[in-house]
Amino acid sequence: MHEMAVTMSMLDLVLKEAAKAGARRVVAVNVVLGEMTGVVDRCVQTNFELMSRDTPAEGAVLSFRNVPKQARCRKCEHVFQPADICWACPKCQSVELEIIAGNELYVESIEVE
């Protein structure tokens, strides 16, 4: 449900950046979404279509790069994607991990004209 707040913030950010670039229209928005943020791209898409009406971002195409969560084993340095239930390192079975990806939530770039 936090997609509403996320999309609203994203639209504000996109419109501000477009205005800064002196653009008339936003054609595309490239978004990076980490798996751990729990933000669902389909919801952002729907919200964006509604919220961007009558703004320079109306009709912009959203592209999402979804980043899966990634862990690095603190014992053997192995980097892996933790499975659903068991987060042990598949190489050495250690559970001492560092999460190194999956927290991302940012706009990478926009395409304007």
Residues binding other proteins (CB under 8 A): 1-2, 4-6, 9-10, 12-14, 17-18, 21, 23, 31, 36-39, 69, 71, 82, 84-85, 87, 94-97, 99, 102-103, 105-113
Quick one: three-class SS letters along 7-37? HHHHHHHHHHHHHHCCCCCEEEEEEEEEHHH
**Beta carbon of residue 54, minimum distance to other proteins (angstroms, whole number):** 21
The label of the residue with tokens 């936003």 reads 26
Of 23 and 51, CB closest to other proteins: 23
The label of the residue with tokens 């706009």 reads 107
For the chain, give the number of residues: 113
**Beta carbon of residue 70, minimum distance to other proteins (angstroms, whole number):** 11
Of 4 and 53, CB closest to other proteins: 4
**Beta carbon of residue 104, minimum distance to other proteins (angstroms, whole number):** 9
Query: 3-class DSSP state for residue 3?
Result: helix
Residues 104, 67: contact at Cβ < 8 Å?
Answer: yes
Of 77 and 113, CB closest to other proteins: 113
